[in-house]
Structure 1
Amino acid sequence: MYNPMMPRPLDRATVCRGNAMEIKQRAVAIALALLTVLGIGNAGQALDYPNGRITLVVPFPPGGGNDAMARIMADRLSARLGQTVVVDNRGGAGGIVGTRSAAKAAPDGYTLLLGHTGSVGINPTLYRNAGFDTLKDFTPIGLIATMPLALLVHPSVQAKNVGELIGLAKVSPGTLNLGSSSKGTGSHMCAEMFMQAAGVKMNLIPYKGTAQTLTDLIGGHTQVTFTVIPPAFGAITSGQLRPLAVTSPQRSMLLPDVPTASESGLPGFDVVLNYGLLAPAGTPKAIVDKINQAMWAALADEEVKKRISADGAEAMSSTPVEYAAIVERDLTRWADLITTLNLKVD
């Protein structure tokens, strides 16, 4: 007989719904707890960072522009972050070896890469097996500086500006020898882009390095080159070489009287080498932001600006997002040129 005072037995469906609700509530609670722990972990990681030595990988041998830029930043970041930043030169294969090793490092902020247009913007497309993907394997931290190249000619060349040089090359195609550094360098790629933009053909002669390129240009064995300014500065001021233009949108502080390529006969021509810092992909945002803040402080220092300027570059700060856009733009523009000209290095 039914007794209204007795609890009514639950049917099976009601029990199942109750169990499902309890499981769901527990799952939500666990998820919220994990998010809280992860958030605290990331924040704690940033507060604790750095608590040891930081390695700044330079994928080129000591003595070049990449090495100089890295040492300027390592010195100031050490002071700002309170831990030693050590420059580690890992040269080989035009920057491939060092960049590849940095991509495989732990994403904990203790291995950074000195990025350069050549190593992270050109190499991934130029080399058949670069072994890394800049966009997938790295997290951009910030821009350090931009560096123009100078268009130099031997004094015997009958051209006083870029427009006249283009005219000369069109009248006598294939008679001018254009020396450059080795394949894939800024010097080589700038020369290729210039010829494409100007619609001219010169005999491109790649050398192993800048020193040999300049020696043959001074000797009259070649007539034209694109190079960074500091190694050629003495030859320019002594009259051994004549600068026709710089490749940046603005004039260089080292050569204030030399016009830009746009001013001198090739409107819109703009090639600069970008330097910046990157970390392995997956590095916590809090750590990336902390390094970026230290970079801003370092690059605001007048002494740092002077040292960077003396190396032919202009100090430039950026957010991680802004530098990521610069890296992506470099990758796109150089990939387009490399593909169009079918340039590849094994």
Structure 2
Amino acid sequence: MRVPCSLFVALASSLACPAHAQEPFPSKPITLIVPYTAGGPTDVMGRLAAKAIKDRLNQPVIVENVPGAASNVGAARVARSAPDGYTLLLGTSVTFAINPNLYKSLPYDARTDFAPVTAIALTPSVLLINASLPFNDVGDLIDFARRNPGKLRYASYGYGSVGHLNGAQLAARAGIDLQHIPYKGSAEAIRDLMGGYVDLAFDPVMTAVSNMKSSKLRALGITSAERSPALPRLATIAEQGLPGFEYAGWYGIVAPAGTPPAVLDKLNAALVAGLQDPEIARTLIASGTSPAPMSQQEFASLIRSTYDKSKRLIAEYGLTPN
């Protein structure tokens, strides 16, 4: 009986070489997509998260800024990536709670296209104004806006961003008319605020702490329910005549849906340990944010609760898609 030569080759190969074992994760660099421009608060948070992963998994983490459409461009890219743990997204409450309630269609499904890893930090925003304006508190701003409807322009780091939602909340609760000027990222918005091209902005506290040092800006209030330990002298907006005014965002890491549980567990463990590192924790607290290491299940619950709150606020303030 004749046996095909190719069969002998196959048999010889299988005997000479054992089955290729799957390489342990991670065996190559990881890419972390930050869906906003460099220099803003999300970028800062992304680089802290990247360091935590790198230091504990001993692989380089490449931070890649992919801005556009209030984080939708970067989020869609990760949703389409291979579910192997090598492409991650620094997601925010915008990506998972605001955009799904604000846009009629998205290039990703926030509820099914991602696997939660962990939250990184919870962060309120600071209401900043151009220092040339004669406002010393939120009451002054509201009084001026009532006398001059539509004159004040507020910048946000994108349509549907936390800054946009806070501006809409301020206008609705105070009964004033504010012009919304969206930007691709916080850095550009603050630059134009300093230049006087816009009048006010809600800046995430992580970058606001630094931006407040500029003589061109003045802080009027913070959006948290209570004063920030990093800014104890800055009154909340709720304290200044708008009771109930509160909205804080968050940052967190997600992977594409279908990523193996063992890979998610390893990423979660690395990030949770990193956030508990005294140096990183001090950095976050000093910037006004609250470190928020948590399990995958706890992060999934945070996403759901923020989604529900954002849905209610968006309906209440009448925000509509662009």
Alignment of 1:180 onto 2:180:
no
Using the TM superposition, give the Cα deviation of residue 156 of structure 1 relative to its aligned residue in structure 2, in angstroms.
Answer: 6.7
Q: CA deviation at 1:327?
A: 1.5
The total of aligned residue pairs comes to: 299
Secondary structure of 2:111 counterpart: helix
Q: Are the aligned partners of 1:142 and 1:292 in contact in 2 as well (CA < 8 Å)?
A: yes
- Which region of structure 1 is more displaced relative to structure 2, 148-157 or 52-61? 148-157
Deviations 1:175-226 (Å, cap 9, x if unpaired)?
Answer: 6514122422222121012222x24122223143545654665566655432
Q: How does 1:96-107 map to 2 (within 5 A)?
A: 96-107=72-83
1:188-203 alignment runs, 5 A limit? 188-196=164-172, 198-203=173-178
- Distance in 2, matches of 1:281 and 1:335, equals 23
What is the SS of the residue equivalent to 1:134? coil
Are 1:205 and 2:204 matched, yes or no? no
SS at match of 1:75: helix
Question: 1:103 and 1:218, CA in 2 relative to 1: closer, same or farther beyond 3 A?
Answer: closer
Q: Distance in 1 between matches of 2:30 and 2:191?
A: 39
Which whole-Å CA distance do the structure 2 matches of 1:112 and 1:296 have between them?
16
Tell me how far 1:293 sits from its aligned partner: 1.7
**Residues 1:140 and 2:89 aligned together:** no
- State yes or no: 1:60 paired with 2:28: no
Distance 1:96 1:56, change over 3 A: same
What residue ranges of structure 1 are gaps of 5+ in the alignment?
1-43
Q: Would you say the 8 A contact 2:145–2:151 is kept in 1?
A: no
The answer to whether 1:118 aligns with 2:94 is: yes
- Aligned partners of 1:156 and 1:107: how far apart in 2? 50
Name structure 2 gaps, 5 residues minimum: 1-20
CA RMSD of the aligned region, Å? 3.1
Contact 1:211 1:231 in 2 (8 A): no
For residues 146 and 71 of structure 2, the distance between their equivalents in structure 1, rounded to whole angstroms, comes to: 38
Which letter maps to 2:304? Answer: E
Whether the 8 Å contact between 1:59 and 1:92 is mirrored in structure 2 is yes
Taking the aligned partners of 2:193 and 2:28, their CA distance within structure 1 comes to: 47
Deviations along 1:142-190, one digit per CA (max 9) or x if unpaired, are 1101222112345576654445644x26853626514122422222121
Identify the range of structure 1 (54-63 vs 110-119) with the bigger mean alpha-carbon deviation: 54-63
Q: 1:260, 1:284 → 2: CA distance?
A: 43
Greater helix proportion: 1
Bigger shift: 95-104 or 241-250?
Answer: 241-250
CA distance in 1, matches of 2:86, 2:194: 44
User: Is the CA contact (8 Å cut-off) linking 1:57 and 1:98 kept in structure 2?
Assistant: yes
Match of 1:129 in 2: 105
Q: Is residue 297 from structure 1 mapped to residue 280 from structure 2 by the alignment? A: no
Give the counterpart letter for 2:147 in structure 1: S
> Which AA in structure 1 matches 2:170?
F
Contact 2:96 2:307 in 1 (8 A): yes
Runs of at least 4 residues of structure 1 off by over 6 A?
A: none
Identity %: 35
d(CA) in 1 for partners of 2:242, 2:174: 11
- Counterpart of 2:5? none
| Aligned match of 2:68 | 92
Aligned to 2:54: 78
Structure 1 or 2, whichever has the larger Rg, is: 1
The alpha carbon displacement at 1:77 in A equals 0.9
Change in 2 beyond 3 A, CA 1:213/1:95: closer
